[in-house]
Amino acid sequence: MSYTIGQVAEETGLSIHTLRYYEKEGILPAVKRSENGIRIFEEEDIEWLKFACCLRDTGMTILEMKEFAKLTLQGSETIEERMNRLHKQKARVKAQADKLMSFMSMIDHKLDFYSNEQEASDH
C-alpha cells in the first residue's frame, strides 16, 4: 500500500515540512515518486520515520540521525556500526530514565513532606 505525504504526516505526527526536510537531509532514504513527481510513501518509509522519531525524541541529533540513515543505506556491512550507535543511544536513554526516576523520588519526598505538614496542621 502507498501513502501520500499528508497521510504520512497524519500517521507519524510529523509535519509535511519536516517530512520534506528529512528527505532533503537524507534522514529519510529516497522516497519513490509518481510520474508527476508526487512523493509515494510505502509502509517501510512510515516504519523508518517512526524509528527516526524515536531516535529524535530520545536525544539523537539531526547529524547523528543523518549518519545513521547513511549507514543503513550502505547495507549489511554497516550492521556492527549501527548496533554500536544504537547501544550508545540506549545508554543515553537509560541515563535520562535514571535521572527522571531520581526527580520522581525527589517529588515524592516533597509530597510526603507536605502531606505530613498538612496532617500536623489539621490536628
CATH of domain 2-122: 1.10.1660.10
Alpha-carbon distance of 51 to 12, in angstroms, equals 10
Per-residue model confidence (pLDDT) at position 28? 93
Per-residue model confidence (pLDDT) at position 59? 94
Per-residue model confidence (pLDDT) at position 123? 75
Block means of pLDDT (10 residues each) for the chain, length 123 residues? 95 96 92 93 95 95 96 94 97 97 97 93 81
Per-residue model confidence (pLDDT) at position 122? 81
Phi, psi (degrees; rounded to nearest 5) at 67: -65, -40
Alpha-carbon distance of 5 to 21, in angstroms, equals 12
Strand 2-3, strand 39-42: pairing:
antiparallel
User: Domain segments of the chain: what residues?
Assistant: 2-122
Per-residue model confidence (pLDDT) at position 30? 83
